[in-house]
A and B are shown apart, each in its own frame.
Chain A
Amino acid sequence: MLRRCAISLLLAAVALPAVPRTRPHYGGTVQIEMAGDGIHADGGLVLRFVLDGLTRLGADGTAQPALAVSWKSENNDHRWEFELRQGVQFQNGFPLTADRVVASLNESCNGNCPWTAVHAVGSSVVFVSDAPEPNLPWLLAETQYLISLTDAGDGKTLPCCIGTGPFAFNNQDQPRSLVAKENYWGGRPFVDKIEVVTGRAIRDQWLDLSVGRADVVEVPPEDLRQAQQQRLTIVASPPVELLALAISATGALANPTLRGAIAEAVDRAALFNVIFQKQGEVTASLLPQEMTGYAFLFPTARDLNKAHELRGGLNAPPLILGVEGGGAMMLAAQRIALNLREAGFDVQPVDSNPMQHPDLALRRLPMEGTDAAAAMEGLLRAVGEPAAVSRQSTAALFHAEKEFLDQKTLVPLVDLPRAYAIGPRVRDFQLNADGTPDLASASLEDAP
């Protein structure tokens, strides 16, 4: 925790201009550029501007009130009741009601929910689950469970992302232009408008930033070092993503010994030191050392001899390694394939196709917040292992994680931060707990 705070302070010190601080000004337009579309990629960056969750994660890792002002659990965490904030309206003027929240939540997880049932009781939303769900307030802060209007009541299909967030789409036909909501329940943002440019290459984003055409641009972890060398103003999060190798427990790798050989053959240090330029940290555990304190118990060193020993005389057929995204991800996948080739596996990296079920998949899993139990449950849910994680003790957490990792269906590799470079006129730029920018509290230096 101390190291994390120190890094945050250091980065904040770098990010802030060495000029006398003045009161923030309202107005102005922030230009933000990104490589993805901001909704399905980039951590749902744009969604965070227009949608709110029932809760949000505070800097200290606690679940903070958002659309829900309070909550309580009953029946040993089998039942949760969230009291909604009053007077909140969606972008189109529809009031926030418990029914609309329930409809949004039911649509968000599409059956794979941490709860068994959710229903509205007056101005409250009640969650019921068969198993205890102690982490629900933290889970509800995740991007996946942000609340959006799904039904206008007239049966018509609504456009994407009508929410209660600090910004609203200026025009649904041009969803990349957002305007500040004057009546936002958390207070009006300082900036009037956000212009989002999507599908922009990283080098072009940096060029735009250098010539003043962009205020906020992305800095992938693998380019963070170079960005620093170019003296860009960087704001980086603590590790919020886990780079991991998912191994299918069916098909060619149904044998856990083969999966163990693969886990031993991967050279994490090369990925961390070279490909990701020593950003984040090498890990063999699901959660960072700062979050749990026991991550060091999972050895990260490569053991090729053990990999050969585990593989023994077993010959796996040629394996497909699916990769989400290109660039550093593909490079990492090729490196893993090279590592595995040394261990006797024939692995071919390919771009991930949702229709395919590769033997191996290199994935970046979101690791939101600083609460260990909630973060672990979120990770497990992301890899299709819906299991409530107890908050009772760190030892229980360790055993749960070890039990999962011993299946060798997920090999944690590197914890990665999320970082942005900002222009000189941006002030009070902060990142949310999931690493997305918090433009609601940012302002522009030259705003009128």
Chain B
Amino acid sequence: MSLRQKLLLLFSLTVAAAVAAVAWTVLLRVRHVFEQRDQEETALFVYQFQREFQHRSAEVAAAVDRLAGSEPARAMAFELAQSGDAAPYLTEAQTMAQDAQLDFLEIVGPDGNVVSSAQWPARFGYPEPAAAEPAQGTFLKREDLPDGSAALGLFAVRAIGGASPAVKLVGGARLDQGFLADLPVAPGMTIGLYSDATPEQGQSTGGAPVAFDPARLMGANEAVAGAVHYRALIDAARRSGQQTNGVVNLTDRREDSLNATAIPLKNQAGDVMAVLIVGISRASMVEAQQHIRAMAYGVAAGGIFLAIVFSLWVAARVSRPIEELARAAEEVASGNWDAHVPARGRDEVSVLARSFNHMTEQLASQRERLVQSERVAAWRELARRLAHELKNPLFPLQLTVENLVRARALPAEEFDEIFRESTATLGAEIANLKAIIGRFSDFSKMPRPEIERIDASDVVARVHALYTTAHQTPEARGAAIQLNLDVSLEPMPIDADPELLHRALSNLVLNAIDAMPEGGRLTLSAHPRGERVELRVADTGEGLTSEECERLFTPYYTTKQHGTGLGLAIVQSVVADHSGTITVEGTPGGGATFIITLPRAL
């Protein structure tokens, strides 16, 4: 990862973390505020309902009061008390309930038995325990109906004045869907009434509420949707007898949830007769939250995008001089000593750039001086070698010519003899001079390599085959040299000029053979070494000193008596032309190993 990428990542992460932290804090706070507001709204609706409930209670009590104080009721009570005959009043409760718009009304005689019942006319003559309730206020009661069902009602008991013992009216209004429909309901509000079908169903054995039945949760106009989801809330209210609040999730979507309050409705004995559910939809709150969240995400995304752009700019501004320095260093490393880094400003990076530029200028200057001195030294060495090489044949030539001049004074036969011998010597030395000049010419005219994809094992095998054949000639057998081949089976592709490489390896093999005049073992090997291929030519000859190892590839340096010192220089040149390296390992008497490493073709 580059410096710029690291800087960019660091800046981006820092900004993103900061934005996320701010967004999370804002959203948390917004959610808290919304939920608080929603709960306050729910509490307000619950309060309104409780007021409405009290209002209905007062209405029921007033209606029963009016009936009890009416003249027909007083006359009826008087007649009942006088005659004790309840038969004529069988349908009286229905008429009175209709007039007073009450759902339930029972006329209870002085004996506590029903005289007339509006909701269940056939119930005359049966006792009505509710008539024993105090004649004040209202109370909840579950009323049995002729069809076997039961209905919950808000009841009031009043004695009809003027008769003693008292004839009582037990009147009430039904708490059913109609009652719910009359309650003030705001948009998004759900109200429901859960009640057990019969008094026996309200409590199971042991006093615990019976199992929740979703079908018994009625809404204002229809069954409450998703009634089963109210179970926990209703059961909690039924068990505790206390008002219970909670969130009811109707589906997996947060919008389909309500802030619900379960209000237990109790009779005078404190038993929970029913549970009223007031639910406020959280859809608007959730939608507002989602809107705010979407905006927060948008702002955060925009902020992060701007932060990335800014980070790019900053990272580029910070990393560009360093990158230029790195690039320049790479150029210097690759041999371009003229690399120059722009130095802007006065910061530490610009100081570094100027120092770098100064360093490269110094290095270039020193290299130029070194080249000049090496060039002079090379010319001197060349002159010395030329002088040395040419001096050897020139001396016989001089002697031959001087001998020939002196021989001119000899008789013709002797002169002819000497002339023939001298011309032969002259010819041989001149040929020797041509050979010396030819080798120097070859060194100066190294051909450019013609690169192709080859396998290193093929080159090694070819050299091995050539010298194995040559070594089997009668002349070579006396040397007793054992040629070994150690080539990896793994493919070792390289981009190389096979002829030049062959020449280089052959040169090394010839040197090894020369190094083992008493015979020995010569091993050619080729093995992959990671991304490179390693070729080795190892012998068991005289070996090399460390000084010889260091100077061995210097042109014109030789350890041989008649060597020119150009062979290994040519080998090094070939290896260098193939982007490879050549080294030598050896100890005196322990043989020597030349190691050529070449880049492996991909």
Contacts and interface: CB of A to CB of B under 8 A. Distances in A.
Contacts of B112: none
Nearest to B116: A274
A333 to B, nearest CB: 8
A278 B87 contact: yes
Interface stretch (A17-25, A184-192, A334-342): A334-342
A238 interface: no
A213 B124 CA distance: 36
Nearest to A339: B122
A335 B87 contact: no
B148 A346 contact: yes
A331 B126 CA distance: 15
B120 interface: yes
Contact of A334 (B86, B88, B90, B121): B121
A334 B120 CA distance: 8
Nearest to A278: B87
Contact of B146 (A270, A274, A332, A349): A349
**What is the predominant secondary structure among interface residues of chain A facing chain B?**
helix
Interface in B200-219: none
Contacts of B555: none
B122 A334 contact: yes
A331 B118 CA distance: 12
A226 B88 CA distance: 8
B565 interface: no
A225 interface: yes
Interface in B53-104: 86-88, 90
Contact of B87 (A277, A337, A338): A277
B122 A337 contact: yes
Interface residues of B, number: 14
A277 B88 contact: yes
Contacts of A346: 148
**What is the predominant secondary structure among interface residues of chain B facing chain A?**
loop
Contacts of B90: 274-275, 277
A275 B121 CA distance: 9
Contacts of B125: 267, 270, 274
B222 interface: no
A348 B147 contact: yes
Given A346-B148, A348-B147, A348-B148, A338 B122 contact: yes
A273 B123 contact: no
B147 A338 contact: no
Given A338-B126, A348-B147, A225 B121 contact: no
Given A225-B88, A277-B87, A270 B148 contact: no
A331 B88 CA distance: 15
Interface string B120-153: 1111111000000000000000000011100000
Interface in A100-147: none
A343 B588 CA distance: 130
Contacts of A338: 120, 122-123, 126
Nearest to A332: B122
A267 B126 CA distance: 12
B223 to A, nearest CB: 24
Contacts of A337: 122, 146
B87 A274 contact: yes
Contact of B122 (A226, A278, A331): A331
B122 to A, nearest CB: 4
B86 A274 contact: yes
B87 A331 contact: no
Contacts of B121: 331, 334
Interface in B342-367: none
Nearest to B115: A274
A253 to B, nearest CB: 19
B124 A274 contact: yes
A225 B120 CA distance: 22
A267 to B, nearest CB: 8
A273 to B, nearest CB: 5
Contacts of B123: 338
Nearest to A333: B122
Contacts of A270: 124-125
Contacts of B147: 348
A335 B116 CA distance: 13
B161 to A, nearest CB: 25
A337 B86 CA distance: 21
Interface in A220-271: 225-226, 267, 270
B239 to A, nearest CB: 30
Nearest to A347: B148
Nearest to A350: B147
Interface in B503-526: none
A274 B85 CA distance: 9
A214 B23 CA distance: 88
Contacts of B126: 338
A332 B124 CA distance: 11
B366 to A, nearest CB: 118
Nearest to B86: A274
A323 to B, nearest CB: 12
Contacts of A267: 125
B124 to A, nearest CB: 5
A348 B122 CA distance: 13
A414 to B, nearest CB: 13
A275 B126 CA distance: 14
A327 to B, nearest CB: 10
A76 B87 CA distance: 51
Nearest to A225: B88
A334 B146 contact: yes
A242 B101 CA distance: 37
A270 B123 CA distance: 10
Interface string A319-334: 0000000000001101
User: Which interface residue of B120, B125, B126 has the most chain A CB atoms within 10 A?
Assistant: B125
12 contacts: A270-B124, A270-B125, A274-B90, A274-B124, A274-B125, A331-B122, A335-B122, A335-B124, A338-B120, A338-B126, A346-B148, A348-B147
Given A267-B125, A274-B90, 5 more contacts: A225-B88, A274-B87, A277-B88, A338-B122, A346-B148
Interface of A: 225-226, 267, 270, 273-275, 277-278, 331-332, 334-335, 337-338, 346, 348-349
Closest 3 CB pairs of A and B: A334-B122, A335-B122, A274-B87
